[in-house]
Structure 1
């Protein structure tokens, strides 16, 4: 029973790891320098002539900034090469810092350098002896604001285009709807006359256009109210047809009314075809004559009662038209916005690639984590120090370990961020047993794999290797891939995972980092976290 509980505790706070062979030698020109001075870090490796070697290319080595990356020197040694890579490091705050273990990829396999502790000392300044200099000119710096403002302007432009398109269509459709809404030809003619005056065409010199619209209003009214083909008739034909209709329909028209209509129509013909230009007062009189003619004709037409059913039908038809117009406006605006977004997205995909669009426009969780503000903290006892994108949150040990198992533990802490079912996960745990226990890391590693399977992992391909840290703490490092099912999207995805497992005086220290395979940002995050790990030895 005791052995079962022991393995269960190890599995529930699982860790995985791999060992490292010393194929990379590390040297630094000095372990103590003043603020802003350059530390020269040297990495060396000896390989055969067919080996492919990739040295680290980070902007920061732990808390130290890489200010210079020197070219790689290649020294031939018979059938082997010695590759020498130098870096210039600096720090502008005094204190003690750790140059972390750095990965050198040899034939696709990572080999790590030694970590080195350095000290950055303050610069003593004697203001009595220090020479004084003029203030230097302002040095322009590169704008670090990023490209987000471009996307914002594009969204504003697309939104503004959609807004103006919607209101343009609304205004255009309103004219058609208003015309349809008139119950009688007289209402339509009266409204059109008012609209014509608001345009102020003849005041702007557009006399020909003004007369054309003025006479069209009169002709449309006569055609709709008296049923004469007025729009297709000449002036003479229209007057003859109007007189005939007045007799047939028993309309009481005075000769003055017909003469006023004929006078304005002929005046319009002169303006349109003979380029005549009436005086301002004549134009006003012609407009008044047309209005008076329309009113007189409407009164002279024998009135017929319009059935209620016809009015209700016309009203329902009008409301249906309004709904259709609104739907068309919305569809047209939405179509414009969608096409604009697709066009802009296609442009960026073609010019910058799909990954750029996905990470910068759609968004990437791991990119935001990598580029955000990192924290360096110590977790558990014995302490595990490491750098992470977020402070790891303490988890309840009682939620992870059964009560029976807790009885065998003196102390246990678990800190984590994210989830194995998400895009990124990091975890640190430490434990001490109540009674002296001889731990078997290989057995613990097997328990880890079993636990991962219990948590839904499939197709686990993990490789463990033994190694020793600079502090003399032995451990196991496992690395590899596995499949997980996203319970929300119901989609399986592959995870790359690395887990460190250490033992000290009957206790365990564990570090686990996982990300979706193929995520370049997740890879950089994992590398930065693992390279920053420092272990605190257990108290004797």
Structure 2
């Protein structure tokens, strides 16, 4: 029985020790001795369970009096034991400008509001040894030397000076434009519209040149040909033949024109309807005859005019007031150019001042 009690007591003590050592804090320094102005790195490592929260020590600019902190690196966390443990590493870069032996106190880390401390460290700082028996080996202070002239340093200034004049002229032009505020006068040439029969003949010549009926495309041929005639009738006689059937067009034309001129047109429309709706396949001479019928109808019904007279284009004068958008653009251009010119002058002046100062 005493043996069992001893074993239980021993296991309890070991368990308590393991729990007590579940958080470890260790601090090391990479160099115990440095010269004045040199740097040393202090590494702080905290090992703890992943479910615990650690707060590392926060320093401002000094670790202790005489030892300054140059840099504090970001903490680095490593996962250990399949993610059950964490190792947090924090590096501090320190230096000193006074020769002495410095005692670096333990670093305190809070883990779940419980303080854990590392071991203390020491840092010995030595002054630079000076050979007073040979002072000639040290050189005295050098005077301030003027940098040699280099064209590369003046490229920007030269560019600003070259662009200054055209920018200034452009600024003057924009200022005059916005101050004048005169209406904009534009002259537009309007080409006269060809008479209906000339437009129709141009379209028929195009259809004749393509010769689509020779490629077996009779439906396309008669569709284009009748559309050209319908457009001519609409422009020549003033009713919308494009929206009317063939018989309606013929009846409308009979009311206002000669029956002889319409007889050939009736044959053209009848053939076109057979091709488009009854899949009629006309012969080659039939296609040519309908093309001639369309031309004869146009020639017999066109308005009489002088064929040698060529219509002259007319010129229209349009007066427009300057829009608000144009005024805004002019104002923005003036502001931008003014700023660019002022900046160029300031830049060139500073460069000259720095060079001759």
- Normalized against structure 2, the TM-score is what? 0.35
- Higher helix proportion: 2
Q: Larger relative CO (CA 8 A, sep 6+): 1 or 2?
A: 1
Larger radius of gyration, structure 1 or 2?
A: 2
